[in-house]
A = this chain, B = another copy of it.
Amino acid sequence: MVNGMTTNRTTKTSAAKSPEKKSRIQVQNRQRIIDAALEVFSSYGFRGSTVAQISDSAAMSKANVLYYYKTKQAIYIALLEHTLVEWLDPLTDIDPAGDPAEELWSYARSKLELSKASPEASRLFANEILQGAPMIRNFLENDLKELVTSKCRVIQTWIDEGKLAPVSPLHLIFFIWASTQHYADFSVQTEILCDSPDSIFNDAEQTLKTLLLNGLLPR
Partner-B contacts on A (CB < 8 A): 42-49, 100-101, 104, 123, 126-127, 129-133, 137, 140-141, 144-145, 148, 162-168, 170-172, 174-175, 177-179, 181-183, 185-186, 188-190, 192-194, 203-204, 206-208, 210-219
Contact = CB atoms under 8 A, between A and B. Distances in A.
Contact of A192 (B145, B181, B189, B211): B145
20 contacts: A43-B131, A44-B45, A45-B45, A45-B47, A46-B48, A48-B131, A104-B216, A129-B186, A130-B185, A141-B192, A163-B218, A165-B216, A167-B206, A171-B204, A171-B207, A174-B179, A175-B182, A179-B179, A211-B212, A214-B214
Chain A at the B interface: mostly helix, strand, loop or mixed?
helix
Contacts of A194: 170
Contacts of A189: 129, 133, 140
A162 B204 contact: no
Given A215-B211, A217-B101, A168 B137 contact: no
Contacts of A127: 45, 127, 130
